[in-house]
Amino acid sequence: MARLDTDLVTWRRSLHEIPEPGFAEVKTSAYVREVLEGFGLRVKTYAKTGLVGEIVGKRGSGPVIALRADMDGLPLQEASGESFSSRHPGMMHACGHDIHMAVLLGTARALLAQADFPGRIRLVFQPSEEGPESGARALIEEGALTGVDGIIGLHVWSHEPAGTVAMRAGAMMASADTFEIEVEGRGGHGSEPHTARDAILIASQIVVNLQQIVSRRLTPLEPCVVSVGRVEAGAASNIIAESARMSGTVRTFSAVAQETVEREMIRIATATAAMHGARADVRYHRGVPAVINDGPVIDAWRAALRGTVATSEPLPAMASEDYSLYLNQVPGAFVFLGGRPEGEVFPHHSPHFRVSEDCLPVGVETMVRGARTLLAHPDVLERAR
């Protein structure tokens, strides 16, 4: 295992140095392809830069289990201080996708060396998880999941201790919707507010009133986040703004909560604007759904890790993942790979983001055991359907 551990670090650091945007992971895709073909695997291209390869077990027919890693970086200038920091200005692997790719490469090699299983393993290296266009959706549309019976995946999590895996049945990560609200009032001179319809004042009240959706329109037992992340208005200090624009995100775990937020947002924004003699236009966009893990898969995976990898049961995360689109197609699960580094812990999507590489062999062990368990026990997938 020592050689594999060295390779894991090499793969991870090499990939960390070349982060690229979604559907433009050209160098990344070439690097991964070279490693996979070095293993003797045939690799197909999907969704511009995505890669799919298969490992055929030596014990005849059986399930097809997909293992997924995402490939894209984020538009950030790296400030982590790592010796292997990004060589691409303005781009960084600030969410651990380099870890995911290295883990899946290590998993592929481990499974090739222990191919005494029935069925097949499908290795899915997905472009563009960060969006705005979903790489998972593109892969599904192009047939990368055709014939797959189940899928597992992981995401490194800097908040969990390195060497551990956090897993839970049911809700794991939230859906991600976005919205834009435009307020149209009437501009005027700052000294004569009575002659205007102040769009900034109206927009401010809308921002405050939107928070009442979570506190007063949803049950306290239903997790939900409504966040306004951007507000634009005004041209000068002595001019009352005629219009204002805001945008934000909504995170939920159920269709009921999602529908309630959309309905109440439209009602609150339009009524608040109307109270001031103005108008508000709301555009609500449904994003990727929530990641909902199948209980039988989680139970079997946790049992397979017992005595080898320490596991915990986390609270659901309000972050989102387009992995949910795979789970809408086939049974499976998604877990968090602990990667807390020494020293200060920075959040994902921070230019200072770092991960402990001690998580790499743990990730491989986790994926290998999960894959082999589902191959050996197809009844688990049947129960999850």
User: Does 4 have pLDDT greater than 80?
Assistant: no
Nearest to 321 by CA among 367, 258, 253, 248: 253
User: Does 5 have pLDDT greater than 90?
Assistant: no
How far CA 367 is from CA of 105, 320, 360, in Å, comes to: 11, 21, 11
Q: What is the pLDDT of residue 250?
A: 98
Interval 125-149: pLDDT, tens? 999 999 889 999 999 999 999 999 9
Q: What is the pLDDT of residue 72?
A: 98
How far CA 102 is from CA of 32, 70, 79, 84, 203, in Å, comes to: 9, 11, 22, 15, 46
SS3 at position 286: coil
Report the pLDDT averaged over residues 240-266: 97
Q: What is the pLDDT of residue 2?
A: 55
Q: Tell me the DSSP string of 129-156.
A: SSSSS-HHHHHHHTTTTTT--EEEEEEE
Average of per-residue pLDDT values in the chain: 97
Is 361 within 8 Å of 5 (Cβ atoms)? yes
Q: Quick one: pLDDT band at residue 3, thresholds 50, 70, 90?
A: low
Interval 297-350: pLDDT, tens? 999 999 999 999 999 999 999 999 999 999 999 999 999 999 999 999 999 999
User: Does 89 have pLDDT greater than 60?
Assistant: yes
User: Does 1 have pLDDT greater than 60?
Assistant: no
Interval 215-246: pLDDT, tens? 999 999 999 999 999 999 999 999 999 999 99
Q: What is the pLDDT of residue 321?
A: 98
At 258, the amino acid letter reads Q
Report the pLDDT averaged over residues 191-216: 98
Q: What is the pLDDT of residue 97?
A: 98
- E strands, 107-208, are 120-126, 150-161, 164-166, 170-173, 177-184, 188-189
Nearest to 324 by CA among 113, 96, 186, 155: 155
Domains in the chain, CATH or no CATH each: 2-172+290-384 (3.40.630.10), 177-285 (3.30.70.360)
Query: Which class for 267: exposed (0-12), middle (13-18), buried (19 or more C-beta within 10 A)?
Result: middle
96: left (phi over 0), alpha (psi -120 to 50) or beta: left
Interval 367-383: pLDDT, tens? 999 999 999 999 999 99
